[in-house]
A and B are shown apart, each in its own frame.
Chain A
Amino acid sequence: MNSISSTSPVLTVPDNLHAFTPNADRARFLDHRMRQRLAQSLRYIRSESDGQLSLESESFGKFLAQLESRTVSPLAFTYYNEAVLAIEEDDLDRATRLLRDMSELPPPATTLQIQELANPTTDFKAELYVRAIDTDPGMKFQVFPPPPHAAAACREQINQALRLMQEGDPELAAEIPALLREIILAAGSEDPKAFTFDGGSSFMLWGAILINANRRDGELAMAQMLAHESAHNLLFGFSANGPLVENTADELYPSPLRADPRPMDGIYHATFVTARMYRVMRTLLDSGILSREQEEKARKDLAEDARLFQLGIDTVQKYARLTEVGEAVIQGATDYMADASR
């Protein structure tokens, strides 16, 4: 990124910045860096707008200061994304409204919140959550507020999974609330022919994940889901200063996980998060706290995760044009998986 005038403090980069092992301190650094980058971007927009966006208000200035000093709502990133696109469309009234509403977002709670999605057809913030993750024009899916009984059951499952990890994988249990501010419970279509989602996350929803509350597969599967979605957020955090791969989005490659060819960034993500899913299962299994039934499920999932990782990494190694960060990050996953399989 070009140099931009800013009063941002210089962040101290951790030594283990791209390490594969979960680390809560590293996650807090990544969050601070993302916020700092957002503040820089917003200052740039203000300077280029030359007064056309009404960004001289006290609340906008306070919001910029807040970005530098404490966590913000994940929706701040979504509002920013929408505002940039509005500016590109020359819809400056919409951009102004979005940036004003962004600056008035209340600060998030200090602990990880589990919330239910409101109705995206009537609630603009709910619509933004959905727009942030439903991004593939070739694969649209429906997102609804969760039924109350499903939300209650899912909430309990999430808490059980977090308790399981606190006992059996404390590193990941500490990293997740450092990476995430919100877990949003939603629901997808129950039509067996419809494409639906189990979970979702987005660069432009940094710090939040969506989970389909209609899941009924137990705390071990939920632990994998949390490892999966938090790993996507980790990769977004690594990408704050640039991409992990240089392949463009219209270069498509055979994917081990999909029938249709996919962009390399998606294959890279899928490969890395599979390694993180393997890691949480391996760690929980080795901790000795799982029941016999859970151990059996963990072993099956380990085998599948290892298989999918190998397919993914073969594709990455063959076709990816990795950036320096991209190479360091995926190498960590590759080294872990190689050690774990011995």
Chain B
Amino acid sequence: MKSTTKRIKLDWGNLLGFEQVKSAQNNRHSAEARAIIGGKIGAKIGGKIPPIEA
């Protein structure tokens, strides 16, 4: 069973990249937090994108 207690408590305000999304640190319900907790931050995808609908 996954522990719900963190043995190491980090302040995202002290972490490169994570300080930019510090507001999401304790909010696991925001889209921002989900994206971060899923292991991904700030990728930019160039090129093909869905066309703008008329």
Interface residues of A (CB under 8 A from B): 1-2, 4, 34, 37-38, 40-41, 44-45, 48-50, 52-53, 77, 80-82, 84-85, 87-90, 92, 131-137, 139, 141, 195-205, 212, 225, 228-229, 232, 236, 239-240, 242-243, 248-250, 256-260, 265-266, 269-270, 273
Contacts and interface: CB of A to CB of B under 8 A. Distances in A.
A229 B45 CA distance: 9
A240 B18 CA distance: 10
Interface in B19-53: 19-21, 23-24, 30-32, 34-53
**Consensus secondary structure, chain B interface:** loop
A49 B52 CA distance: 48
A257 to B, nearest CB: 6
Contact of B50 (A195, A197, A198, A204): A195
Nearest to A265: B42
A135 B40 contact: yes
7 contacts: A77-B17, A80-B16, A81-B41, A136-B43, A202-B40, A229-B46, A248-B30
Nearest to A200: B45
Contact of A250 (B6, B8, B9, B32): B32
Contacts of A89: 2, 37
A50 B9 CA distance: 11
Interface residues on B, range: 35 or more
Given A197-B45, A249-B24, A259-B52, A48 B35 contact: no
Nearest to B23: A248
A259 B53 contact: yes
Contacts of B50: 195, 258-260
B7 to A, nearest CB: 6
Given A37-B16, A44-B10, 18 more contacts: A2-B14, A41-B14, A41-B16, A48-B9, A77-B17, A81-B41, A84-B18, A88-B37, A92-B7, A135-B43, A136-B35, A197-B46, A200-B45, A201-B46, A203-B42, A205-B43, A242-B20, A256-B52
B43 A132 contact: yes
B32 A249 contact: yes
